[in-house]
Amino acid sequence: MRVLIVEDSPEIVEFITLALEAGTDKVDIVTTDSGMEATELLEKERPDVVLLDLGLPDINGFETIKRMRLFSSVPIIIITVRQCENDIVRGLTLGADEYITKPFGQLELLARIKAVLRRRTGMPVGEVIRYGNCKFESGVNRFTYQDTSIPLTKTEAIIMGILLEHRGAIVTYTQLANAIWGEDYPNATDTLRVYIRRLRIKIEFAAKISGLIKSHATIGYSLGNV
């Protein structure tokens, strides 16, 4: 596995490097503190995953994501101290696949990396789930409400898929975390809330419907009637 770390803190780079070397069998690590150089390294080194800090000394992480997505679909994990959901949602909307907030633990970091690499293969092609006026096509990560088609990210597709599979029942935070990351780690619930918020906004804006995804405090989520 080859990892590109884009981070201006030597301490964070060292922590990530030690975590990767301890938690994976074989890893090649490339580092830079420059968003502009990161784009060049992405094209030259062809990493399997990018760990990207939003606060860089030259161009910010948002602009770096934009530039990378012009020519690459490599999984990008945002590393940020920012707690504002709007910033996180913006990064995900621009094309990042995951995010992790500082400070974070080794197990959480490794879980996020393994998750994005696992999701890279996508879900089985051809699986279609129907629910009322909704249709979900897992193979192409597409959700359709009546005549409106909404493309989903891989993470959003996993969430929508498991909610539809359990339609009529509540899907717990633990079930969702296991489906997305392979385990339920500390702070996973907070991360899920961000993804659910983003998914709701996307569906409500495109399809003009609300109440599709219902929250159940301290438990999880379910689908409403559509």
- The identity of residue 86, as a single letter, is N
CA nearest to 79, candidates 116, 50, 120 = 50
DSSP 140: G
pLDDT averaged per 10 residues in sequence order, the chain, 226 residues: 94 94 89 95 94 92 93 90 75 86 86 80 62 84 88 87 87 89 78 88 84 90 83
CATH topology of domain 2-119: Rossmann fold (3.40.50)
pLDDT value at residue 42: 95
Q: What is the pTM of this model?
A: 0.69
Please report how many Cα atoms fall inside a 13 Å half-sphere around the Cα of residue 6, on the Cβ side: 33
CA nearest to 200, candidates 169, 170, 159 = 159
Q: Which residue intervals of the chain bear CATH 3.40.50.2300?
A: 2-119
99 close to 53: Cβ distance less than 8 angstroms: no
Q: Which residue intervals of the chain bear CATH 1.10.10.10?
A: 128-223
146 close to 207: Cβ distance less than 8 angstroms: yes
The enclosing H or E element of 36 equals helix 35-45
CATH code reported for the domain at 128-223? 1.10.10.10
